[in-house]
Amino acid sequence: MRANPAAAGFSLYACARLMARSVRYPLESAALALLLGVWTATAPAQGDAKRGEYLVRAGGCLGCHTGEKEDAVPFAGGRALKTPFGTFFGPNITPHPQAGIGRWSEADFVRAMRHGARPDGANYFPAFPYPSFTKISDGDLRDLWAYLRTLPPSSQPSREHDLWFFFGWRFLVTVWKWFFFTPGPFVNPQGVSAIVNRGAYLVQALGHCGECHTPRNFLGGPKRGRFLAGGKLPDGEDVSNLTPAQLKKWSDSELADFLTIGTTPDGDVPSESMGEVIRNTTSQLTPQDLAALIAYLRSLPPLPDEK
Ligand code: HEC
Ligand code: HEC
């Protein structure tokens, strides 16, 4: 758009008039300014579904929210997630009013992702990786929501979780949250390059890499001071140390190959769980985001494997 000198001149004039008036009517002007402020803050800022589609990939939502069968409806739930506390089933997150989250408001969605709470206030189990997703920015949450709204609604009902005895009590999660959950969006640390910050955001918030790569204590909480240092998954599977103590064995391009085509420098293929992360998530990242993710892993403090 070309600047229109006449319009600009008029705006200047209007501005000057307003300033002159505000001297005469300070209260009224303040009220007007306040109203304008409230209006801009509450104006419905529509999320961008196209961006949301990319973020859904970066967040790996598809895997946990889609059944294992070939013909499973994407995001209609049914995927079994085995944990030491029992089996969780990813629920239907399509906009179906009964079976899915069609009746939800955007605020309900934000509360689920940021605070791990259902619309009725009950806790979600941390098998839903909200301890990582809480770090997703407001803008990205809005875009994720906009994309989920575009999915075809599926009437497939969500399955009840199959949990051991009292582990099924949602209120116990309150205690878990006291110990292990800090809600709030990712804050860029000072003195870190923009690319490393972007990578940190992708790894810690959307990519939730720590959900598998950070070892857990017996309560299922991440071990402090062992962030991304690897160990064992609940089913006993070894999970790699992502800090430079181990990853220095691979060059950046070897790491990029692993995270996009899923081959190691010696021609191995990863286990099924990491294979799915590569398929659904890391191979879908833009080259810039992949480079940022790698730059961040390189910047981590090296933590030797635990003996
Ligand atoms: C590691 C598996 C996993 C991943 C990845 C995952 N979810 Fe979930 N999600 C779950 C489980 C399990 C639940 C149910 C938790 C419960 O019932 O307490 C859940 C619940 C939800 C709910 C609440 C649904 C309801 O009916 O109450 C929403 C919304 C949701 N997830 C959205 C997402 C989005 C968006 C992403 C990607 C950014 C995502 N999830 C990624 C496992 C996952
Ligand atoms: C569902 C669990 C899970 C999640 C989530 C996960 N990983 Fe993994 N990852 C694994 C397992 C298990 C292995 C070990 C694979 C093997 O030995 O074949 C692994 C291996 C790796 C390796 C190979 C390291 C080596 O030294 O061999 C890299 C790199 C890696 N993951 C990066 C990531 C990144 C980056 C993320 C987040 C975007 C991520 N992973 C998320 C389970 C996971």
**Per-10-residue mean pLDDT, the chain, length 307:** 42 44 53 52 73 97 95 96 90 98 98 97 95 98 98 96 79 90 94 97 97 90 93 86 96 97 91 94 98 98 88
Instruction: Report pLDDT for 15.
Output: 41
Give the class (CATH, top level) of 194-299.
mainly alpha
pLDDT of residue 232: 86
**Phi, psi torsion values for 148, nearest 5 degrees:** -60, -30
Q: Which residues contact 85 (CB under 8 A, 6 or more apart)?
A: 125, 163, 164, 167, 220
- Are the C-beta atoms of residues 239 and 213 closer than 8 Å to each other? yes
How far, in Å, CA of 228 to CA of 52, rounded? 26
List the residue whose alpha carbon is closest to atom 42 of ligand 1.
128
Distance CA 196, CA 202 (A): 10
C-alpha of residue 133 to centroid of ligand 1, in Å: 10
CA 91–ligand 1 middle distance (angstroms): 7
Kindly identify the ligand whose nearest atom is closest to the C-alpha of 132: 1
Task: Report pLDDT for 139.
Answer: 97
Closest C-alpha among 170, 174, 228 to residue 199 = 228
pLDDT digits (tens, 9 = 90+) for 4-21: 444 444 444 444 444 444
pLDDT of residue 271: 92
State if residue 91 touches ligand 1 by the CB under 6 angstroms criterion: yes
Residue ranges per structural domain of the chain: 1-32, 49-180, 194-299
Q: Give the residue, by CA position, lying nearest to ligand 1 atom 18.
A: 124
Q: Which amino acid is at 305?
A: D
CA 47, 53, 54, 55: dihedral to nearest 10 degrees?
60
Closest by CA position to 303, among listed 244, 217, 251, 252 = 244
Place of tokens 């007007």: 32
Contact 100, 112 (CB under 8 A): no
Residue written as tokens 């070892």? 215
Task: Quote the pLDDT of residue 1.
Answer: 36
- For atom 17 of ligand 1, the residue with the nearest CA is 124
For residue 32 the two structure tokens come to 């007007």
Ligand 1 centroid, distance to 234 Cα (angstroms): 19
Please report the pLDDT score of residue 27 as a whole number. Answer: 57
Residues 28, 37: Cα–Cα separation, whole Å: 14
